[in-house]
Structure 1
Amino acid sequence: MNTKAVYAACLFVALNICTLSARAESHVQAQTYAYGTHLDIQKVLSFSEDPNPACGVVNARMTYLDSAGHKQALDYRKLADNCNDGN
């Protein structure tokens, strides 16, 4: 019975650590891209875009690590992923 309590406590701690790391990721201050902006991208972590059912220009965000290993975010505009290549 005591072993189950220890396992439950370990699971609780692990879930809290995951939640804290997710919160830390969302607090990265995003830079808005402008033509000529110097980008220091070592590794891309994720891409996301506003959900839009129609083809058109949408807001997008790239999260990446710079050459110093710091997490950065870049907001930019792009053609939606659901657009056909023939447009």
Structure 2
Amino acid sequence: MNTNTLYAACLFAALNICTFSARAEADVTPQTYTYGTHLDIQKVLAMTQDAGASCGIVDAQLTYLNSQGKTETLNYRKFADCHSDN
């Protein structure tokens, strides 16, 4: 096996690993929070909210790792982060 073939095989293997992990992240099904929902949060990865209203209730999303290291997503409603100029 020459070096070019070896380099191509290594590159192909690395790309497959990256593609596999990206597919695993894309398979996350968001769960909607309700009162009493059991949350198994080991590490918070991201917190986002809709940019609609400046104040009031908005939709938000929490992306986190559970205790098994699996990525989970939780949809919930919250008061927007309101900033006053006073």
**Range of TM-score over shorter length:** 0.5 to 0.7
The aligned length equals 83
**Equivalent residue letter for 1:12:** F
The answer as to whether partners of 2:52 and 2:58 remain within 8 angstroms in 1 is no
**Equivalent residue letter for 1:2:** N
- Residue range with higher mean Cα deviation, 36-45 or 54-63: 54-63
Structure 1 residue 62 displacement after superposition = 2.1
Structure 1 residue 19 displacement after superposition = 1.0
Unaligned runs of 5+ in 1: none
The 5-angstrom pairing of residues 1-16 of structure 1 reads 2-16=2-16
Identity of aligned residues (%): 58
1:19/1:36 Cα in 2 relative to 1: closer, same or farther (>3 Å)? same
Bigger radius of gyration among the two: 2
Unaligned runs of 5+ in 2: none
Deviation readout 1:17-48 (Å, 9 max, x if unpaired): 10111111111222112344332211112344
1:25/1:12 Cα in 2 relative to 1: closer, same or farther (>3 Å)? same
In structure 2, the residue matched to 1:63 is 63
